[in-house]
Amino acid sequence: MLESKSNRVALYASAFLVIILVLFAMLRDNADKITLNDATEILDNHLVKKVVVSKDYVYLKTDKDFYKIASSQVTPKMFIDYQVEVDSGSNIIVYLLFLVLFLGIGSLVFRWLQKSPLKIGRSIQKDLSISAYETTRPIESTKSDVTFNDIGGISDVKIELEEIIDFMKNPKRYKTFGARMPRGVLLVGPPGVGKTMIAKAVANEAGVPFYYQSGASFVQIYVGMGAKRVHELFSAAKNNSPSIIFIDEIDAVGKTRDGQRNDEREATLNQLLTEMDGFENSSGVIVIAATNKIDILDSALLRAGRFDRRVFVELPTKRERESILSKYLAQIPHELDVKAIANMTVGFNGASLAALVNEAALLSIRQHDFQVTIDHFHHVKDKVMFGKKKLQMLSDKQKEYRVTYQAAKVTCATYFNLPFEKLMLSSEKLTPRTDDPLIKHELESRVKMLLAGMVACGIKFNEHASSAKVDLDEAKEIVNKMLQEYGMGESLLAKDKEQEIFMSRLYDETRILLESLLEVINKVENVLYERESITKEDVKIFIDKYL
């Protein structure tokens, strides 16, 4: 309050000083005083452009200079050839009125800026103090309202964490038995699987304060602020124990130290390690952290006594997807078979499933339908998986190539029973990438599906389009991993040019397969021309009929 008052006084004083300076500049007499001889010479040479008479002086203005001479030294006859103006002092009044108007407008603008969020006088100070405020504001716990019932498909994870919940509810049971709970639990898994929600559910089920921080919030531009923030976080948790600290994306601060520099991040990591070492077994504080990059975490962070327990949260299985979808569809009007949607969402995480249900519901509303149907899910699936892209306008010839390309891909994918439900002519992707353990023939089937479009265009047109690049890149990547990482070549160590030979073999086998399925591909092309989409079941009917 005192600071704001002193700032206001300084501002008013500065404004007063500016006004004095302006008045001085406007009202001061800056004419050079001359003698009668000088005045007579200027007048005789006709250099004077303007004559102004005041009470005490006569002012003579030329092109370059401004002179004055005392009125008592001159006579009216000297100015008989000039038009003389009389200075009545009205200019001073005009100046004063201008200043009053200026001050009035300035005062109004100043008051408006004080009430406005854009305060010029404080904007720089506010920008400089934002980071300081973020790092000095007190650490406060949050109340979690998430339960395990709100999270579907985490039965295995729930079993791992129920022990921790029980420990926080009944610590004496474990102490009398001589057992201690892990000081830290690391949730490891890909983005979107619900790691943060799981931590919130643990805090809710245990009924303890929940302290949330992201790893990035510790990495400050001010030296020492990150370490200070860590200390404050752990102090607050200990003072309110039993409690849970959750550090999201811990890899932002917990990356492996290279020993070449001692920057703010490493100082923060050192403080985190020290705080976790300082835990007493009876402190009642458990640290839960989440990451999807466990391979880059510092080894000191993962050793026993810090993050002792690691819980891997994987992508949901089919049964788990059914459970998740059931929860999201509970409040949405539908008559859907949840198993069918679970079958078509292989590779989806919990967040993607939530987005899928929401997009399907929004599409249903846009189309003025009374309930969500399976067709709504088919239309929005690719949008959720790959994002919505603006499609290029295709000429008739380009569309002919694309139809053949997509028809061959969907035929091959159906023949090998790859996981998909429907193909859209406008979609570049058919099945999502997967890192699940796959057998050699399953990987080869996927590569053949990726090559099928090029093979079919080669059979029909003797060339293919540049749009095949995405599929070709993925096929090369899979073959490279099969030979270099999985040891699926002729020997465990790949030989020279083996990748080229391997790819050529798969290309030839795909060509032989598609030549036997040309009738099916033609039928699929007709459907794509008509509807621009086709389901896996439709293709399967064609294959069963012609084989």
Query: Do 429 and 360 sit in the same domain of this protein?
Result: no
Looking at residue 244, its pLDDT comes to 84
Query: Do 155 and 304 sit in the same domain of this protein?
Result: yes
> Tell me, what CATH number does 193's domain have?
3.40.50.300
What residue type is 314 in one-letter code?
E
d(CA 510, CA 521): 13
- DSSP secondary structure letter of residue 372: B
Rounded mean pLDDT, 101-122: 58
Does residue 299 sit within a domain? Answer: yes
Query: Do 177 and 263 sit in the same domain of this protein?
Result: yes
Higher pLDDT, 114 or 429: 429
Picking from 101, 135, 166, the residue at the C-terminal end of a domain is 101
pLDDT at 503 over 90: yes
Picking from 278, 312, 346, the residue at the C-terminal end of a domain is 312
Picking from 353, 386, 419, the residue at the C-terminal end of a domain is 386
Closest CA to 432 of 374, 349, 517, 547: 349
Does residue 297 sit within a domain? Answer: yes
Note the maximum CA span of the chain.
Answer: 127
Which range (122-126, 290-294, 513-517) has the least confidence?
A: 122-126
State pLDDT tens for residues 353-392.
Answer: 888 888 888 988 988 888 898 888 888 876 776 665 544 5
pLDDT at 5 over 60: no
Does residue 516 sit within a domain? Answer: yes
Higher pLDDT, 434 or 181: 181
pLDDT at 290 over 90: no
- Spell out the residues 6+ positions from residue 453 whose beta carbon is closer than 8 angstroms to its own: 404, 405, 406, 408, 409, 464, 468, 471
Query: Do 325 and 411 sit in the same domain of this protein?
Result: no
Residue by residue, DSSP assigns 409-470 as HHHHHHHTT-S-SEEETT-S-SS----S---HHHHHHHHHHHHHHHHHHHHHHS---GGGHH
Rounded mean pLDDT, 141-156: 72
Does residue 425 sit within a domain? Answer: yes
Q: Categorize the per-residue pLDDT at 130 as very low, low, confident or very high, splitting at 50, 70 and 90.
A: very low
In which domain, by residue range, is 259 found?
148-312
State pLDDT tens for residues 359-369.
Answer: 888 988 988 88
Looking at residue 241, its pLDDT comes to 78
Looking at residue 385, its pLDDT comes to 65
> Tell me, what CATH number does 465's domain have?
1.20.58.760
Report the domain count for the chain.
4
Does residue 115 sit within a domain? Answer: no
Which range (148-152, 470-474, 503-507) has the least confidence?
A: 148-152
Q: Categorize the per-residue pLDDT at 479 as very low, low, confident or very high, splitting at 50, 70 and 90.
A: very high
pLDDT at 118 over 80: no
Looking at residue 460, its pLDDT comes to 93
Does residue 362 sit within a domain? Answer: yes
Higher pLDDT, 401 or 203: 401
Query: Do 355 and 499 sit in the same domain of this protein?
Result: no
Enter the pTM of the model: 0.53
Looking at residue 183, its pLDDT comes to 78
- DSSP secondary structure letter of residue 58: E
Angle (nearest 5°) at CA 430 between 377 and 504: 170
Mean of the per-residue pLDDT values for the chain? 77
> Tell me, what CATH number does 338's domain have?
1.10.8.60
pLDDT at 106 over 70: no
Angle (nearest 5°) at CA 357 between 355 and 360: 105
| 3-state per-residue secondary structure call for 378-408 | HHHHHHHHHCCCCCCCCCHHHHHHHHHHHHH
Q: Categorize the per-residue pLDDT at 13 as very low, low, confident or very high, splitting at 50, 70 and 90.
A: low
Does residue 485 sit within a domain? Answer: yes
Rounded mean pLDDT, 259-284: 69
Does residue 265 sit within a domain? Answer: yes
Query: Do 300 and 349 sit in the same domain of this protein?
Result: no
Q: What φ, ψ does residue 506 adopt, rounded to 5°?
A: -65, -35
Looking at residue 392, its pLDDT comes to 54
Looking at residue 442, its pLDDT comes to 92
Rounded mean pLDDT, 274-300: 76
Query: Do 303 and 156 sit in the same domain of this protein?
Result: yes
Which range (105-119, 241-255, 284-298, 425-439) has the least confidence?
A: 105-119
State pLDDT tens for residues 28-84.
Answer: 566 777 877 777 777 777 777 777 777 677 777 787 777 777 776 777 667 766 766
- Spell out the residues 6+ positions from residue 150 whose beta carbon is closer than 8 angstroms to its own: 197, 201, 327
Looking at residue 524, its pLDDT comes to 94
Q: Categorize the per-residue pLDDT at 116 as very low, low, confident or very high, splitting at 50, 70 and 90.
A: low
Query: Do 537 and 416 sit in the same domain of this protein?
Result: yes
Query: Do 267 and 179 sit in the same domain of this protein?
Result: yes
Query: Do 424 and 514 sit in the same domain of this protein?
Result: yes
State pLDDT tens for residues 218-249.
Answer: 665 445 677 787 888 888 888 887 888 888 88
pLDDT at 119 over 50: no
Query: Do 376 and 410 sit in the same domain of this protein?
Result: no
> Tell me, what CATH number does 64's domain have?
3.30.720.210
Query: Do 422 and 495 sit in the same domain of this protein?
Result: yes
